[in-house]
Amino acid sequence: MTSPSASAPARAATKRTVLMCRPEHFTVSYRINPWMHPEDPTDTSLAVRQWETLHAKYVELGFEIHLIDPIPGLPDMVYAANGGYVLDGIAYGAKFEYPERQPEGPAYMDWFRANGFDVREPVATNEGEGDMLLVGDTIYAGTGFRTDPASHDELRAIYQREVVTLKLIDPSFYHLDTAFAVLDSKGGPDSVAFLPKAFDARSLDILDERFPDAIHVNDEDAKVLGLNSFSDGRNVVIASRATDFERQLTERGYIAHGVDLSELLLGGGGVKCCTLELRS
């Protein structure tokens, strides 16, 4: 944990409510992103221990944590952020691109229904909060590899919010939450961090116009999914190896909390991938 710089602005934490899935069945048995190498061994018990460290950090920060039961045969279910998008008490379900993950969509929608959310079933392919991030009153929605831009129209219709499309162009950063981090959900010119090379020119223009004081991360931190982080507005939980990002956060007045999710990185996910925010 790194304390903020004395000269940095004061940051205020807001309580978060999240959904997580214990990686009891985690392995890499197929390849649907550049991070996955099924020929290399994975250690499920290590993945569970690392996930438990993340869970414990959230408990320490005062988050309200809900758990969905893992299902055998769905090793990527640990990446709860892809399970849907929850805002205003409405849960927009996920419809996965690859057959290996498609059963996750109904499983998460069943959980949402059982827990009192107004569930909207998707028509267009989308991978949930992995490609949909809220900043202020605007939903920033990724496309390019997984999520169909038609789902952005569904978001507009369901939530009656501005939805801004951002196109990803680097296959290593195939979900928006791997290349774009919300640091302060209230919004503002310095409320996000991102990796410029992950976006097309039009999207970069949008980001530079709306977030002129954003943090830009370097390639080394991006390669350990440093941007795949989760913030309560003051505390930012990040990959422990993203050391320059940690420095930048501290200079901006945030408290950075590094965790090691290196085993889950073998499946292409990090802190944010394991975290679905539930907004009532």
The DSSP string of 56-107 is HHHHHTT-EEEE----TT-GGGG-GGGGEEEETTEEEEPB-SSGGGTTHHHH
Active-site annotation holds for 273: yes
pLDDT over 90 at 31, yes or no: no
pLDDT over 80 at 56, yes or no: yes
| Least reliable range by pLDDT among 12-26, 29-43, 98-112 | 29-43
**Checking DSSP bridges between strand 230-231 and strand 215-216, what pairing results, if any?**
unpaired
Q: Which candidate in 21, 152, 257, 273 is catalytic?
A: 273
| Least reliable range by pLDDT among 36-45, 96-105, 254-263 | 36-45
- Could you tell me which residues come within 8 angstroms of residue 131 by beta carbon, excluding any fewer than 6 positions away? 141, 142, 143, 146, 147, 175, 176, 177
Phi, psi of 24 (to 5 degrees): -65, -25
Over residues 258-273, the pLDDT tens digits come to 999 999 998 889 999 9
- Please state the pTM of the whole predicted model: 0.95
Contact status, residue 91 vs residue 84, Cβ threshold 8 Å: yes
- CATH code for the part of the protein at 17-277: 3.75.10.10
pLDDT of 189 reads: 97
pLDDT of 29 reads: 81
Active-site annotation holds for 55: no
pLDDT of 115 reads: 98
Q: Could you give the CA distance from residue 277 to residue 271 in angstroms, rounded to a whole number?
A: 12
pLDDT over 90 at 35, yes or no: no
- The CA angle 162-163-166, to the nearest 5 degrees, is 145
Q: What percent of the chain has pLDDT over 70?
A: 99
pLDDT band at 7 (very low <50, low <70, confident <90, very high): confident
Q: Which candidate in 21, 55, 152, 175 is catalytic?
A: 175
pLDDT band at 28 (very low <50, low <70, confident <90, very high): confident
**Checking DSSP bridges between strand 162-167 and strand 180-182, what pairing results, if any?**
unpaired
pLDDT of 43 reads: 94
pLDDT band at 229 (very low <50, low <70, confident <90, very high): very high
pLDDT band at 47 (very low <50, low <70, confident <90, very high): very high
pLDDT over 80 at 33, yes or no: no
pLDDT of 9 reads: 85
pLDDT of 268 reads: 85
Over residues 149-163, the pLDDT tens digits come to 999 999 999 999 999
Q: Where are the domains of the chain?
A: 17-277
What's the mean pLDDT when you consider all of the chain? Answer: 95
pLDDT of 122 reads: 98
- When pLDDT is averaged across residues 62-67 and rounded to a whole number, the result is 98
